[in-house]
Amino acid sequence: MQRVSDDQDSTIGYVISWGDGTMNSFIKENGVFIPESKGVYSTLTADAGETSFIFRTKSQVRYEFSKFSIIYWFGLGVDLSEGPGITIPYSLHGLLTQ
Protein backbone atom coordinates (compact mmCIF):
# COMPACT_ATOMS: atom_id res chain seq x y z
CA MET A 1 0.00 0.00 0.00
CA GLN A 2 1.26 3.47 -0.86
CA ARG A 3 0.29 6.97 0.22
CA VAL A 4 -0.18 9.45 -2.61
CA SER A 5 -1.01 13.16 -2.53
CA ASP A 6 -2.16 15.73 -5.04
CA ASP A 7 -0.22 18.97 -4.67
CA GLN A 8 -2.89 20.98 -6.51
CA ASP A 9 -5.75 20.38 -4.09
CA SER A 10 -3.89 18.72 -1.16
CA THR A 11 -5.94 15.53 -1.53
CA ILE A 12 -4.46 12.53 0.28
CA GLY A 13 -5.07 9.05 -1.03
CA TYR A 14 -3.91 5.49 -0.64
CA VAL A 15 -3.36 2.90 -3.37
CA ILE A 16 -3.23 -0.86 -2.79
CA SER A 17 -1.46 -2.71 -5.62
CA TRP A 18 -2.05 -6.43 -6.12
CA GLY A 19 0.16 -9.02 -7.83
CA ASP A 20 -2.16 -9.30 -10.85
CA GLY A 21 -1.85 -5.56 -11.60
CA THR A 22 -5.18 -4.60 -10.00
CA MET A 23 -5.11 -1.42 -7.94
CA ASN A 24 -7.63 -0.17 -5.37
CA SER A 25 -7.41 3.55 -4.67
CA PHE A 26 -9.09 5.55 -1.93
CA ILE A 27 -9.17 9.25 -1.15
CA LYS A 28 -9.68 10.73 2.28
CA GLU A 29 -12.69 13.02 2.63
CA ASN A 30 -13.76 14.33 6.03
CA GLY A 31 -11.83 11.58 7.80
CA VAL A 32 -13.38 8.76 5.74
CA PHE A 33 -11.67 6.79 2.98
CA ILE A 34 -13.79 6.74 -0.20
CA PRO A 35 -13.06 4.45 -3.19
CA GLU A 36 -12.07 6.56 -6.22
CA SER A 37 -13.92 4.22 -8.60
CA LYS A 38 -17.70 3.93 -8.64
CA GLY A 39 -19.18 0.52 -7.85
CA VAL A 40 -16.35 -0.55 -5.51
CA TYR A 41 -17.68 -2.22 -2.36
CA SER A 42 -14.34 -2.65 -0.60
CA THR A 43 -13.60 -0.46 2.41
CA LEU A 44 -10.47 1.06 3.91
CA THR A 45 -10.23 2.13 7.55
CA ALA A 46 -7.29 3.39 9.59
CA ASP A 47 -6.28 3.87 13.19
CA ALA A 48 -6.09 7.44 14.53
CA GLY A 49 -2.45 7.92 13.52
CA GLU A 50 -2.84 6.20 10.14
CA THR A 51 -0.08 3.75 11.03
CA SER A 52 -2.22 0.68 10.39
CA PHE A 53 -5.03 0.08 7.93
CA ILE A 54 -7.70 -2.53 7.36
CA PHE A 55 -8.81 -3.21 3.78
CA ARG A 56 -11.98 -5.30 3.59
CA THR A 57 -13.30 -6.77 0.34
CA LYS A 58 -16.94 -7.12 -0.68
CA SER A 59 -16.75 -10.79 0.40
CA GLN A 60 -15.41 -9.69 3.84
CA VAL A 61 -11.81 -10.86 3.38
CA ARG A 62 -9.79 -8.60 5.68
CA TYR A 63 -6.23 -7.45 4.88
CA GLU A 64 -4.15 -5.66 7.50
CA PHE A 65 -1.40 -3.20 6.57
CA SER A 66 1.16 -1.62 8.90
CA LYS A 67 3.31 1.44 8.26
CA PHE A 68 6.85 0.73 7.09
CA SER A 69 8.03 4.17 5.94
CA ILE A 70 6.62 7.63 5.27
CA ILE A 71 4.70 6.50 2.17
CA TYR A 72 4.65 2.66 2.25
CA TRP A 73 2.72 0.08 4.28
CA PHE A 74 3.31 -3.68 4.30
CA GLY A 75 0.66 -6.35 4.45
CA LEU A 76 0.71 -8.08 7.83
CA GLY A 77 -2.00 -10.64 7.38
CA VAL A 78 -5.18 -11.87 5.77
CA ASP A 79 -8.29 -12.85 7.70
CA LEU A 80 -10.91 -14.81 5.80
CA SER A 81 -14.54 -14.25 6.80
CA GLU A 82 -14.67 -17.89 7.86
CA GLY A 83 -11.72 -19.98 8.87
CA PRO A 84 -8.17 -19.24 10.00
CA GLY A 85 -6.22 -16.13 9.12
CA ILE A 86 -2.76 -15.86 7.61
CA THR A 87 0.03 -13.85 9.25
CA ILE A 88 2.88 -12.49 7.12
CA PRO A 89 6.03 -12.07 9.25
CA TYR A 90 8.48 -9.26 8.34
CA SER A 91 11.86 -8.31 9.77
CA LEU A 92 12.62 -4.76 10.88
CA HIS A 93 14.12 -4.17 7.41
CA GLY A 94 10.91 -5.11 5.61
CA LEU A 95 12.04 -8.56 4.50
CA LEU A 96 9.93 -11.69 4.82
CA THR A 97 11.25 -13.83 7.66
CA GLN A 98 9.74 -17.16 6.59
In tens, the pLDDT along 16-55 reads: 888 899 899 999 888 899 999 889 899 999 988 888 899 9
* pLDDT for position 92: 47
Q: Is the residue at 14 inside a domain?
A: yes
* pTM exceeding 0.75: no
Q: Is the residue at 36 inside a domain?
A: yes
CA distances from 17 to 3, 14, 41, 75, 84 (A): 11, 10, 17, 11, 24
Q: Is the residue at 98 inside a domain?
A: no
Per-residue pLDDT of 79-88, as tens digits, reads 665 555 555 5
Q: How far apart are CA 4 and CA 11, in angstroms?
A: 8
Considering only CA atoms, give the Rg of the chain. 14
Q: Is the residue at 96 inside a domain?
A: no
Q: Is the residue at 94 inside a domain?
A: no
Range of the domain at 70: 2-87
Number of domains in the chain: 1
